[in-house]
Amino acid sequence: KCQPQLAPPRPSSAFAPPRQHSDQPAMSAGIVEKRLAAIGLKIPKPSAAAANYVPWKRVGNQVFISGQIPKAEDNSLLKGKLGHDCSLDEGKAAARLCAVHLISQMREACGGDLDRVKAVVKVEAFVNSTPDFCDHPQVVNGCSDLLVEVFGMEVGPHSRFAVGCSSLPFGVAVEVG
């Protein structure tokens, strides 16, 4: 089983530039936040970087987000190795939690306005797994499905890769960027 464990804190999308002030209110303001509320999803404050990197980097109208790990509200981590001590459903839950942290970082990068996100471009996922585990795409669906649910069919669909690896930081089950 993927076991939550306490660990030290460890803290790709295109977006629109900030809205210009005008007499007309923006028609799409708050759409993403309304979706989050409708599904009862609380997005935590973004984690700070734990080493010599930044949690996100804006280049032009794109934001690149560093890898996010499955850290719960109590700072516990979803640890485990798929194909050994972590089930497919637990792996999907870990990937979904990574997506929650991706959204948190994106919210920060967009100045708090997730409606500025115009496309989730690419998801890059690593699954801590045994050599014979082959359901990496199903694990990463936990992330992809949430991004589409939150950002909608116009913005959320993305390209991606889902690969297995022999280990991940702190022994977590999944890392997604």
Residues 72-96 have pLDDT tens digits of: 999 999 999 999 999 999 999 999 9
Q: In what order do the strands lie in the sheet with 56-59?
A: 56-59, 62-65, 13-15, 117-120
Q: Which residues pair with 68 in a beta bridge?
A: 176
Half-sphere CA count of 130, side-chain side, radius 13 A: 9
Contact 8, 50 (CB under 8 A): yes
Q: Which of 125, 130, 133, 134 is closest to 174 using CA atoms?
A: 125
Instruction: State the pTM of this model.
Output: 0.85
* Antiparallel, parallel or unpaired: β 159-165 and 122-128: parallel
Q: Alpha-carbon distance 6 to 38, whole Å?
A: 30
Lowest mean pLDDT among 43-52, 103-112, 120-129: 43-52
With bands split at pLDDT 50, 70 and 90, how would you rate the model's confidence at 50?
Answer: confident
With bands split at pLDDT 50, 70 and 90, how would you rate the model's confidence at 3?
Answer: very low
Residues 102-122 have pLDDT tens digits of: 999 999 999 999 999 999 999
Q: Which amino acid, one-letter code, is at 140?
A: V
Q: Alpha-carbon distance 79 to 168, whole Å?
A: 9
